[in-house]
Amino acid sequence: MSRGADLPSGRDRSGPDREGRAGPYPPSLPRCGWPGLADPLYERYHDQEWGTPLHGESRLFEFLVLEGAQAGLSWRTILHRREGYRRAFGGFDPVKVAAYGPGKVQALMQDPGIVRNRRKVLSAIENARCV
C-alpha cells in the first residue's frame, strides 16, 4: 500500500489497525516538546506512531531497517527518506529483501532516496535473512 509521504491517519488510539498503526493523537493531551512545530512529518510521527506497539512482520521489519539507518543520524532525517526506503526495500517485505544480491546492493548504493551507507544496507539485507 503506497501512502506517499503521509503517515497513517484517521484511527483512534483504542487499538492498532491491521498493520499495527495507531490513530491520531488526542488533542486533549499535551504534546512532547521534541517534535517541535516546524516539521509536520515529524509532528505526525509523534502524534500517530511514536510510543505505540507495532504488529505485523512488515511493520516490525520496517522499523528494524529504519532504526538501523538512523544510527548516527537524526530520526527526522530518516523519516524524510522513509518512502525512499519503502521503495528500495521491497515495501519492507523481508522475504524480498533477503533475496537481494550484489547487483541490488550496488543499485541501492546509488539510490538518493536512502542513506547510502554500505554497512547499513548490508545490515538490512542480513537482518531480512534472519527474520
- Our answer to whether residue 67 is catalytic in this structure is yes
Instruction: Based on the residue annotation, tell me whether 45 is a catalytic residue of this protein.
Output: yes
Between 93 and 12, name the one with better pLDDT: 93
pLDDT range class, residue 114, cuts 50, 70, 90: very high
pLDDT at position 24? 59
Catalytic choice (45, 57, 85, 100):
45
Domain boundaries, given as residue ranges, for the chain: 7-54, 57-130
> CA of 95: how far to CAs of 11, 59, 66, 81, in Å?
29, 13, 17, 22
User: What is the secondary structure of the chain as a DSSP string?
Assistant: ---TTPPP-S--TTS--TTS---PPPTTSPPPSTT-SS-HHHHHHHHHTTT----SHHHHHHHHHHHHHHTTS-HHHHHTTHHHHHHHTGGG-HHHHHT--HHHHHHHTT-TTS---HHHHHHHHHHHHH-
Active-site pick, 43, 50, 75, 83: 75
Distance CA 16, CA 64 (A): 19
Question: Is 42 tagged catalytic?
Answer: no
Choose among 115, 114, 51: nearest CA to 86. Answer: 114
Residue given cell 502524534 in the structure block: 47
Q: Is CATH 1.10.340.30 what the domain over 57-130 is classified as, yes or no?
A: yes
What does the pLDDT look like over 35-88, one tens digit per residue?
766 788 888 888 888 888 888 899 999 999 999 999 999 998 999 999 999 999
